[in-house]
Every structure is written in structure tokens, then in C-alpha cells.
Amino acid sequence: MSNSRCVGHEPCPACGSKDNLARYEGGSAYCFGCQYYERDTSDDSHSMIDYKNNKGTKTMAEFLQGTFQAIAPRKLSEETCRRFGYSVGEYKGKKCHIANFYQDNQLVGQKLRFRDKSFQIIGKVTEIFFGANLCSTGKYIVITEGELDALSVAEVQHNKWPVVSIPNGVDSAKRCIQANLKWLEDNFESIILMFDNDEVGLKASAQCSQLFSPGKCLIASLPLKDASDMLVAGRGAEVVSAMFHAQPYRPQGIVTLRDIKHKLKKTVEMGLSYPWPSVTAWTYGIRLREIIILGAGTGMGKTEIFKEIILHLIIEHKQKCGVLFLEEANDDTSRCLVGKHMNLPIHIPGVAYDEELFDASVDALVSDDSLVLYDHFGCTDYDTLKASIRHMVVGMGCKYIFIDHLTMLVSGLKEGDERKMLAYIMTDLASMVRELDFTIFAISHLATPEGKPHEEGGRVQIKHFFGSRALGQLANFLFGFERNQQDPDKLKRNVSTFRCLKDRYTGRSTGETTYMRYNTGTGRLLEDTTFNPEEDYSDTTGNPEGADARVYF
């Protein structure tokens, strides 16, 4: 080297100095700062780089020596490529890009990128940032997913701020950052992750950001896949903007008031009505993303309540309903709903009806596939039920799902296991209604109360619900249904108290009650705002054909 004439000074690819590298005739070079050395290879049969470590021990590795040049298809200048030690050369007769990796200012590895986007590693690149040899300290450092992305970020901001790339794709990101975490934390105020804008890149950004001290790491968002695509598309200014608008990682589900400000301006509207005006007034209607639980004793008419709501949603509100009645055959459910639409209990033997009216009622329920039924064949496995609910909602557009009954899903388990499973089911359903934007109506059986049985008019309380802790915590509304099935007064025997036990929406309707009567002539369950439980109706109930307006049979 001493017998060659120096032909100029240039940046050192090892230490990043602007002009410490002296270039000599024949192609050899020597850095007076870090002792980096490139020997004369003009007569070699293959290109190699000779380098010297800081202790003065000479070593030799068969690294490729390429040519620094602009990479026009990527809009990268020769200056940027030379600065980062990114050159173009050949390996075993195949043209490739050569990315040099340095450790302690010594070349220790190369990553070769071929035209088919395959890669070859020479030496060591694991846990080493590409471009780290050019970085010391600063306010920002950008970490990208690939070498071309790092060069692109450097190009668009004229090599002003440090930028590095992880060595082996996004899968190596966490390990590489962990290995260099102290260096990053100690030397840079903010670390900006600019990984690819795809599912894998976004996931890696979330994972890696949590390695840093709070507020230290920022995530940049690009409109195209990566920084290289942005530069090629002529949108380099947006890459710089993305750097300075990078945001701290925020776990999914965390929002600020600014994020939801637009929602606050929307007028709060009533939900869809119930079949009974008082219940609509209490609850402000039926909204999506809620769970409504109904509890009552055996044979009290819980399923009848659900059928009235189903018919009302389909006919009055043109909504699709998914019905999962686990103790009733689908044809029985359908026949009862058609009868309610006809105002005739056609599910009872001997009830005559007009065929045309029947066909018209069937058509009203069949229209737009508004009624979707779960044909369970005795299967009450929750995972199967859950898959069916998801299909009804996502695949068939049902926004209102009716389950009769929840306790059947855990029957057969041990007592402690039943309650644990019911708590799991309720938690899972609560998550699902929010994820898929629908509402669940579900029936729960009740535990035997102390004192008067529910079937004899005993008052329903939250503690009576099977698995009451989970139901009480996760349900938006809890309703109870009470009547005395053994009342000698036939009118009172068919009038029930509908009670609101829990109102999460406003809390105002908790404790409210109304009366509902079952009309045996029409098969309908109607609200009766004039009923007085203290009044004696025994004189009128024995005459169903009488003219008295208080007769209900």
C-alpha cells in the first residue's frame, strides 16, 4: 500500500467517517480512523476483502467486494449506498446486492440479496443491525424490516437521522432488539419502529415496542407496504412525516376521548321496541351488544315471552332472529310463532283455522329468511353452539340470538364445575356480542327458593338465578317472571308479574314491574296495565263467553 499513490479520500464503510478512508491506485484502501483495509484485488481471480481488527491482528475472510453504484429501480443514490456499504456484485456467477454488517467497526458478515429475492449469508449477521456502524447517539433512530427500507429512509431524509435494519426479516426483530436494547436505550431519545405495513409487521411492532422503557418506543405507520415502496412511488416526504408522527404503542382496545369524539356527537336514540310498552319505556328499547337474561320457575311461560319478542322483531322491525331452543323441536317453535301471528293457538289440537291466513302468516315469517333455527339433534356442546351462533350472526345476518336455555349447556357436570363452566360461557358470550355487534336473549333456570316456590308466585331474586354471580355481573338486563300456577282464580292463574331485577343501562328500571296475561283464545302474551292482584275476578272467569270486558278466556 505504501508504494501506491493515493488518489483520493472517501467515507469509510466501517466507521462512517466522511473522509478518513484513503483510496490508492490499484483499488486498495485504508482508513486511518478504524484501520479498515481493502486490498488490491485487480489481479485476483475472485474478489475478497482483507480487514484488520483494532488489536492489530491481521485476519482474512472471503467476503465479496462489490461496486458502489446507484440502484435506479429503488431510487437509491450511490452516495447512500456507499455510506451504508451496500454494493452490487456477483456470487457464484449470480448478480446480487451485498449488504455489509459490522461489529466493533469490523466487517463480520454479508447478506446477499438475489434478483429472485432469495438470500445468502456470509459470515455473521445474527443480532447485528445493518447500518449500526454509522450510528452513535441522537434524538431519533429508525429501525426498519429490511436493508432496502433502511437505505430508503436514509435517502428521503438525506442521511440526517440514524437508521438501521434488522438482519433476518421480521422474525429476527425481537431477538436483535433484545441483544442491542441497552445500546438503543442509552444512546437515543426515541426509537422509531418502521416495520412493514402488514399483519406480520404490525404484530412484530407491538411485541418489540414492549421491550423498551415506557414512552421510549414509537411506531411509524406507512400507507404502503414499506419505506422502499414509498420511495419508489415518489412518496418519500410521507416517510419523513411518518417518522415525526410516530406514536407510542397502544394495546388493542385502548382509546382516548379524541379517538371517539365523533361518536359523542351522534344523537342517542331509542332501541327497538319490545312487544310491551312498559318494558320499552324502562329499558329505552333493545340495543345491540347486550345480553338480556330471563329467569322464572318451571312452566311459567319463559319461552312464550321469547316467542313474543321474536315475532315482534321480525314483523315490526324487519329483523333477523337466530333461535336456539334446546328443549323444543323446531317445527313446534315455528308452528307456535305462526299461530301467534294468526292470533290463534294452532299448536293445540282441535283449533280450527283458515288455510289462506295460515299461508300468509308462514310467508310473513319466511320472508328474507328472518327466522333461523338451530337444529341441535340433542347436541348441547357449547363449542358447537358457539360456532352455530357465529354462523348465524356473520354468515346469515342475524342480529338477535335467542337461547333457551343456558343451564342446559352445563347440565350433567358436577355442581362446582357447572358454575365455573357457566361463568366461562357468559364471559365468552359477552366478548362475542361486542366483537360481532349483536344481542343475546337467554333463559336461565332458577334455584329452589326458601319459602314460597316460584311456581306458586314466589318472588324472583337475582340470587335465585343458576350461576347468579356470572349472570348478575355480565348481563345488561335481568328479568324475572312470576305467577301462581295454582291460584283458584283462573284469571290470576294466567296473569304474571314481569319484574326488572337489573338494569345496567341507566339503573332506573331496576325494581319496576308490569303485568302480562296469557290469552288462551289467541295464544298471545299481552301487557295488562289495568290488572289489580288484590281484586277478585272469580265471578267473571267462569264465563269465557260473557260480555264482561275483564274476561280473558
Q: Mind spelling out the 3-state secondary structure of 461-476?
A: CHHHECCHHHHHHHCC
Average of pLDDT values for 220-236? 95
Per-residue pLDDT, 490? 81
Per-residue pLDDT, 132? 94
Average of pLDDT values for 170-191? 92
Q: Does the domain at residues 63-248 carry the CATH identifier 3.30.465.10?
A: no
User: Which range, 42-51, 86-95, 478-487, is most confident?
Assistant: 86-95
The segment(s) of the chain belonging to CATH 3.40.1360.10 are 63-248
Cell matching residue 197: 405495513
Per-residue pLDDT, 249? 81
Average of pLDDT values for 206-227? 92
Q: Which residues pair with 518 in a beta bridge?
A: 525
Cell matching residue 344: 290463534
Per-residue pLDDT, 14? 61
C-alpha 235/C-alpha 239 separation (Å) is 7
Phi, psi (rounded to 5 degrees) for 208? -70, -35
Average of pLDDT values for 495-522? 92
Per-residue pLDDT, 377? 61
* 3-state SS, one letter per residue, for 198-215: CHHHHHHHHHHHCCCCCC
Q: At residue 225, does pLDDT exceed 90? A: yes
Q: How confident is the model at residue 117 (pLDDT cuts 50, 70, 90)?
A: confident
Mean pLDDT (the chain) is 84
Least confident of 13-22, 29-38, 181-190, 430-439: 29-38
C-alpha distances in Å from residue 106, one per residue of 64, 68, 129, 150: 15, 19, 13, 20
SS3 486: coil
Non-local CB neighbours of 265 within 8 Å, separated by 6+ positions? none
pLDDT tens-digit readout, 417-440? 777 888 888 889 999 999 999 999
Cell matching residue 173: 426483530
Q: What percent of the chain has pLDDT over 70?
A: 85
Per-residue pLDDT, 468? 60
Residue 99 has, within 13 A of its CA and on its CB side, a CA count of: 27
Task: Determine the Cα angle at 374 with ends 369 and 379, to 5°.
Answer: 170
Q: To the nearest 10°, the Cα dihedral for 289, 501, 310, 396? A: 20
pTM above threshold 0.75: no
pLDDT tens-digit readout, 298-311? 778 889 999 999 99
Q: How confident is the model at residue 36 (pLDDT cuts 50, 70, 90)?
A: low
Per-residue pLDDT, 485? 82
> 230 with 236: CB under 8 angstroms?
yes
Task: Output 391 or 447, whichever has higher pLDDT.
Answer: 391
Average of pLDDT values for 228-241? 95
Do β-strands 138-144 and 119-123 pair in parallel, antiparallel, or remain unpaired? Answer: unpaired
Q: Quick one: which of 513, 485, 478 has its CA closest to 297?
A: 485
pLDDT tens-digit readout, 302-351? 899 999 999 999 999 999 999 999 888 888 999 999 999 999 999 889 88
Q: How confident is the model at residue 245 (pLDDT cuts 50, 70, 90)?
A: very high
Q: How confident is the model at residue 416 (pLDDT cuts 50, 70, 90)?
A: low
Best CATH choice for the domain 277-541 from the list 1.10.10.10, 3.30.870.10, 3.40.50.300, 3.40.630.30: 3.40.50.300
Q: At residue 157, does pLDDT exceed 50? A: yes
Average of pLDDT values for 464-469? 71
C-alpha 173/C-alpha 164 separation (Å) is 12
Average of pLDDT values for 6-31? 71
Strand order in the sheet with 247-248: 163-165, 138-144, 188-194, 217-219, 247-248
Q: To the nearest 10°, the Cα dihedral for 87, 91, 93, 96? A: -40
Task: Output 405 or 118, whichever has higher pLDDT.
Answer: 118
Per-residue pLDDT, 379? 65
Q: At residue 512, does pLDDT exceed 50? A: yes
C-alpha 82/C-alpha 86 separation (Å) is 6
Q: At residue 389, does pLDDT exceed 70? A: yes
> 539 with 547: CB under 8 angstroms?
no
**In whole angstroms, what separates CA 500 from the centre of its chain?**
33
Non-local CB neighbours of 250 within 8 Å, separated by 6+ positions? none
Least confident of 153-157, 167-171, 286-290: 167-171
Task: Output 397 or 535, whichever has higher pLDDT.
Answer: 397
Cell matching residue 330: 323446531
Per-residue pLDDT, 291? 94
**In whole angstroms, what separates CA 247 from the centre of its chain?**
20
Per-residue pLDDT, 550? 34
pLDDT tens-digit readout, 353-362? 899 999 999 9
Q: How confident is the model at residue 471 (pLDDT cuts 50, 70, 90)?
A: confident
C-alpha 63/C-alpha 51 separation (Å) is 10
> 358 with 344: CB under 8 angstroms?
no
The segment(s) of the chain belonging to CATH 3.40.50.300 are 277-541
pLDDT tens-digit readout, 45-83? 333 444 443 333 334 347 898 999 999 999 999 999 999
Least confident of 12-26, 170-184, 190-204, 393-407: 12-26
Q: How confident is the model at residue 415 (pLDDT cuts 50, 70, 90)?
A: low
Q: At residue 539, does pLDDT exceed 70? A: no
Q: At residue 179, does pLDDT exceed 90? A: yes
